[in-house]
């Protein structure tokens, strides 16, 4: 599944609920899922970890949909030509720098 396909799938499944919830409510659900991902990372249960990554991605895509952001377009714009910090395809930024 491509990022575009995922964004379309989530929009088709949940757009009416997402519109009702709005950005603030959706962001709260997203943050809850990030917390669950953090717990799964500590526990290192591969099956649960995969599910939590999927949940975080779904809620992130939901936020993008509500904000009318095409994730494929913005990811390509920001990362398609290399690291936004150093411009290289294999980042050479120092480890203390945020790329």
For the segment 18-32, what is each residue's pLDDT rounded down to a tens digit? Answer: 989 999 999 999 999
Structurally, at CATH architecture level, domain 3-68 sits in Orthogonal Bundle (1.10)
| Pure H helices in the chain | 3-43, 46-66, 71-79
Taking CA atoms, 17 is separated from 28, 62, 68, in Å, by: 14, 10, 15
Query: How many other CB atoms are found less than 10 A from the CB of residue 41?
Result: 13
Whether residue 82 has pLDDT greater than 70: yes
- What pLDDT shows up at residue 99? 60
pTM of model > 0.85: yes
d(CA 15, CA 66): 8
* C-beta of residue 40 within 8 angstroms of C-beta of residue 52: yes
């Amino acid at each position: 599944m491509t990022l575009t396909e995922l964004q379309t799938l989530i929009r088709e499944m949940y757009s009416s609920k997402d519109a009702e919830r709005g950005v603030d409510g959706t962001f709260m659900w997203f943050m809850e899922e990030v917390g669950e991902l953090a717990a799964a990372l500590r526990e290192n249960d591969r099956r649960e970890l995969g599910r939590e990554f999927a949940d975080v991605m779904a809620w992130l895509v939901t936020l993008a949909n509500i904000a009318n952001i095409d994730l494929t377009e913005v990811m390509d714009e920001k990362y398609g030509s290399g690291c936004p910090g150093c411009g290289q395809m294999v980042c050479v930024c120092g480890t203390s720098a945020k790329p």
